[in-house]
Amino acid sequence: MFTVKNNFSVNEASTTLVVGLFEKTASFEGILGDVNSALGDSLATLVKEGDVSAKKGVVSKVHTLGKLEAKRIYFVGLGKENQFSFETARSSFGKLFKACKNAKLEEIEIVLDSFVTDKVDASDVAHALGEALPLATYKFADYKQKSNEPTKEISSVVVYTEQDKEEVDASLTVGYIYGKGTNSARTLVNTPANMLTATDLAHYAVELATKYELEYEILDKEEMENLGMGALLAVNKGSVEPPKMIVIKYQGKDEWTDVIGLVGKGITYDSGGYSIKPKDGLVGMKTDMGGAAAVLGAMEIIAELKPEQNVVMVIPSTDNMISGNAFKPDDVVTSMSGKTIEILNTDAEGRLALADAVTYAKHHGANYIVDVATLTGGVIIALGNHITGAMTNNEALFERVLEASNEVGEMIWRLPITDKFKERVRKSNVADLNNSPGRDGHAIFAGLFIGEFAEETPWVHLDIAGTATSSSEYDLGPSGATGVMSRTLATLVERFGEE
């Protein structure tokens, strides 16, 4: 996929040449000077006339008309150099790769150093490039009838740099791994619910664990009953599909200590149960296992990069359906922890599944827990579709998750925890907890409910109901699943492992 070369010559590129261009370049020197000379000193005219733009995010194509070996040059506008960042680089490469994909190009040659600044070094630019390629060109393999004509994909990227080839190549590889892991999460979320049951999700996890020689465990219904997982089993009661509790362990240290637990909601379809959703609310509920996809994507990245950190991944999986056997409002169920729960809303099912999963993560030795879930519509009302809601019982762990999210560009925003909110979750005449204290602040209530099962274990909750999908195409992907939090979780684990 990637080939790194030193000693760039403007006449060496033989296919499609890519050059970064900053605004207000006083004169064309170095790489740009060579390109300008090869084009008969016409670059300034092209910029002045608007045929080539240095504005951030603008990709301009110029045919060389035989003046260079390369048939065309793509100039990537990078904006002002002093405002250039890792995110700008990744977004710019995303736009580039989308343009190249639309043009059905298979080979690209990029002058990496034309994207490098004092603030963003060659390694960072290489990581951004490697990550952007799979993200921006991702396409879900849908179920439409296909022609027999083979599709053209970008299969070769030559990267020219004067920096250390091994370091640049390593950064390209790491970025690519991050992008591919995120795409794996996207594909899971995009898959229709009738093609991704809890059993299918478990099979996927087993294949992932087997590929990377990781320990795994899949609990079936009888085993869950023996362990007293009454919260998850309650959600499953209306379904004809058996539930699964999915566990993968990655051991990066000699001893099974200092373990990060990654817990992902795996509700493969959510009808709302007897608290049924309106008809428009039923559409798109195949995505309710976005948390499970995120932790599986993260585990793929972790298994590829092999950080020195221990991780246990836990996914509680079922669909939430309606039948004569389904659980209903006013029921009382007993969780694995022993805590009893009054059911006030069967559409508040994700927190029930996660309650037993968090308890089981602790059973497997998790010293820290991060849960990820498409949990509430309330978080969308509060934060919109581009920010993930977060809650925590531990400042230090939250800061680490926040740093990881900032590093990869997946924004999170913390929601408050107060004693008043806790009282609402604990208010029941017949049980220890209730699963739905009310519509006001319900994103907070949902997170607090999960926190009751984390107890004293450092815990961060991430509600991705708004960020798990995108309604429109963007620089780093198409509409549909985003794979959000896979990269944040993988980065969190990597940074833990570096200590």
For the chain, the structural domain boundaries read: 2-144+151-179, 196-497
Q: How distant is the alpha carbon of residue 405 from its chain centre?
A: 10
Predicted pLDDT at 148: 67
Q: Which amino acid is at 497?
A: G
Task: For residue 231, report the phi and psi dihedrals to the nearest 5 degrees.
Answer: -75, -50
* Assigned CATH for 196-497: 3.40.630.10
* H or E element that contains 330: none
Predicted pLDDT at 189: 98
Predicted pLDDT at 69: 86
Annotation-wise, does 270 bind a ligand? yes
User: What is the CATH topology of the domain spanning 2-144+151-179?
Assistant: Leucine Aminopeptidase, subunit E; domain 1 (3.40.220)
Q: Which residues have a catalytic role annotated?
A: 277, 351
Task: For residue 216, report the phi and psi dihedrals to the nearest 5 degrees.
Answer: -145, 165
Q: Which amino acid is at 360?
A: Y
With both helix axes pointing from N to C terminus, report the angle between 290-305 and 486-497 in degrees, rounded to the nearest 10: 40
Predicted pLDDT at 13: 73
Annotation-wise, does 118 bind a ligand? no
Residue 463: helix, strand or coil by DSSP? strand
Predicted pLDDT at 26: 59
CA distance 32 to 26: 11
Write down the pTM of the prediction: 0.97
Predicted pLDDT at 85: 97
- Centre a 10 Å sphere on the Cβ of residue 19 and count the other Cβ atoms it contains: 23
Instruction: Name beta bridge partners: 318.
Output: 267
CA distance 377 to 370: 20
Predicted pLDDT at 44: 83
E strands in 8-71: 16-21, 59-63
CA distance 315 to 254: 25
* H or E element that contains 231: helix 230-236
CA distance 156 to 150: 17
Q: How distant is the alpha carbon of residue 222 from its chain centre?
A: 32
Annotation-wise, does 349 bind a ligand? yes
- pLDDT tens by residue, the chain, 499 residues: 899 999 888 887 778 999 999 997 656 888 888 888 888 888 888 988 889 999 999 999 999 988 888 999 999 999 999 999 999 999 999 999 999 999 999 999 999 999 999 999 999 999 999 999 999 999 998 899 876 677 789 999 999 999 999 999 999 999 999 999 999 999 999 999 999 999 999 999 999 999 999 999 999 999 999 999 999 999 999 999 999 999 999 999 999 999 999 999 999 999 999 999 999 999 999 999 999 999 999 999 999 999 999 999 999 999 999 999 999 999 999 999 999 999 999 999 999 999 999 999 999 999 999 999 999 999 999 999 999 999 999 999 999 999 999 999 999 999 999 999 999 999 999 999 999 999 999 999 999 999 999 999 999 999 999 999 999 999 999 999 999 999 999 999 999 988 7
Q: What is the DSSP letter of 115?
A: G
